[in-house]
Amino acid sequence: MHSDSVVRDMPIKKTVEDLARFGGSAVFSERIHVGRPNIGCRDKFLKRLNDILDSKWLTNHGPNVQEFEAKIADFCGVRHCVSTSNGTMALEIAIRALGLTGEVIVPAFTFVATAHALQWQEITPVFCDVDPVTHNLNPEKIESLITSKTTGIIPVHLWGNPCGVEEVESVAKKHDLQVVYDASHAFGCSHKDRMVGSFGSVEVFSFHATKFINSFEGGGIVTDNDELAEKMRLMTNFGFAGMDKVIHLGTNGKMSEVSAAMGLTNLECMSKIVDQNFENYQSYKAILANIPGIRFFTHTESEKRNFQYVVIELDEEVVGLSRDIFMEILHAENVLARRYFYPGCHRMAPYEHSLSGKTAWLPETEKLLNKVLVLPTGTDVCQRTIEKICAIIIYSIEHASDIRKMLEASGVEST
C-alpha cells in the first residue's frame, strides 16, 4: 500500500471538532520541532569532552578546533576554514575582512542575521527579490539595485539549494563587487559536482544547533585566499599574532573546544544523518507532492544535498485555508511547523523604513512569505510521525469548508 493510501486510511480525526485547535486531543503528546538537533555518537562526544577536561585546553584554537577546521576545509575542497563562535559572527568577520561598506545586496527572504550582519556594521542591506521556484536571490534583479554605494552581494543558498552562482558572479565581476555566500543551510551540498564552500571570495557556514551539522553553537568561514584567511583568523582573536603582539583590529569570535568536539562527532555521523533526512524527505514527497494546492519543494537529487529542510507552499485558493491556519492547526496537534522567514527582513522593525511605499517592490518574496511552511524532519522523526503529520494536513484540506465555518463561528478569520 502506498504512503498516501496509508495516510488517507489513518483515522487521525473523526470530526472537525476532534481537531486540537477546537478542543480535541492532540495527535502528538510531545512537541515535534523543526530543527530539533541531530546528535551524533554520544559516547564519542563524551570521550572527547573528557579529553578536553583532562587537558584543560578549553578554548584559544585547541586541538579539537584545529581538527574541525582542517576537516571542514578538506571536505569543501579549499585551503582554509576559520571557525567562529556562531554563524552571525562568521558573516560579520567575512564582511569586515573584505572591506564591504555602503550598500550590499541581499535577499529579503532569509533569516534576519544575514541583514543584521551588515546593519550592525553600518552597512545598508539592499533587499532583492527571489526566484519563485528556487526561493534563492534572483540574479536578474541584482543590476537594477546597484548604485555607486554598492560594494558587494550576499546570496543565500536557501534550503541547501545553491543559488545561481554563475549568474551572480557574472554580475559581480561586471560591476567589481565582492561576493560572500551565506551557506548556513548548505553544508554538505554541491553545485555542478563542486562542493558548496568553494565559491566566491568566501562562504559562510552556520553550525547552530538547528543546522544539519551542529557544534552546539558555531560557524565557519571557508576560503582559498591565504591572505584573507590569515586576516580573518586574527580578527577572531582580538588581532593577536603572538603572546603580546596585536597587529590587527579584532574581536572575540573564537569557537570553543567543546563546540568543536560536538562538530567533529556530528561530522563522523554525517552520512547517517543524510540518509535519515533523505528517507524523511522521500516519505513526505510521496504523500504531499501530488496534493492539489501544495507545492512540494524538491531538491536536485543528482547533486549532494543534506535534505535538512522539508518545505511546502500552500495555495490558499486551492486548499481552502490560509497557510497561517494550517500552522495553527498543526501547532495545536504539537507539530511546530514554521513559516520561514515571516514577515521578511524588509518588514522587520530595523528595516521597514526602507519600504518607502513600494508595494510591488518584492512581489515573489511577498507571495512566499504567505505560502511557505517548513515541516519537521531530522534524526528524531520517523516514518509513522511523517504519516500522521501528513494526515493532519490532508484532513484539513478535505474539511476546509467545515474548518472555516468553525473559525467564523468563534470569531476568527479563516484566511
Average pLDDT over residues 40-50: 97
Q: Any idea what the Cα angle at residue 239 is, between residues 238 and 240, rounded to 5°? A: 95
Closest CA to 386 of 12, 1, 17, 38: 12
Confidence (pLDDT) at 294: 98
The three-class DSSP label of residue 405 is: helix
Distance CA 413, CA 2 (A): 36
Check residue 358 and give its pLDDT.
56
H/E stretch holding 165 reads helix 165-175
- Please check the confidence at residue 360 and state whether its pLDDT lies above 60: no
Q: Which amino acid is at 274?
A: V
Cβ proximity of 109 and 347 under 8 Å: no
**For the range 339-342, what are the long-range contacts, defined as Cβ-Cβ under 8 Å and sequence gap of 24 or more?**
339/369, 339/372, 339/373, 339/374, 340/111, 340/311, 340/372, 340/374, 341/109, 341/110, 341/111, 341/112, 341/369, 342/369
| pLDDT tier for residue 51 given thresholds of 50, 70 and 90 | very high
pLDDT of residue 383: 96
At 14, is the pLDDT very low, low, confident or very high (cuts 50, 70, 90)? confident
Average pLDDT over residues 356-376: 87
The answer to whether domain 3-30+270-409 has CATH 3.40.640.10 is no
Among residues 184, 398, 200, 363, the alpha carbon closest in space to that of 291 is found at 398
Segment 17-32, tens digit of pLDDT: 999 999 999 999 999 9
Question: pLDDT digit string (tens) for 218-247?
Answer: 999 999 999 999 999 999 999 999 999 999
**pLDDT computed for residue 1 by the predictor:** 38
Backbone angles phi, psi at 121, to 5 degrees: -105, 20
Domain-wise residue ranges, the chain: 3-30+270-409, 42-268
Share of the chain above pLDDT 70, in %: 95
Residue predicted with more confidence, 314 or 413 = 314
- What confidence tier does 413 reach under pLDDT thresholds 50, 70, 90? low
The CATH T-level fold of domain 42-268 is: Aspartate Aminotransferase; domain 2 (3.40.640)
* Environment class of 43 (CB within 10 Å of its CB; exposed 0-12, middle 13-18, buried 19+): exposed
pLDDT digits (tens, 9 = 90+) for 199-211: 999 999 999 999 9
Task: Check pLDDT > 90 for residue 297.
Answer: yes
pLDDT tens digits along 303-335:
999 999 999 999 999 999 999 999 999 999 999
Round the CA-based radius of gyration of the chain to a whole number and report it: 23
What are phi and psi for residue 300, nearest 5 degrees?
A: -80, 100
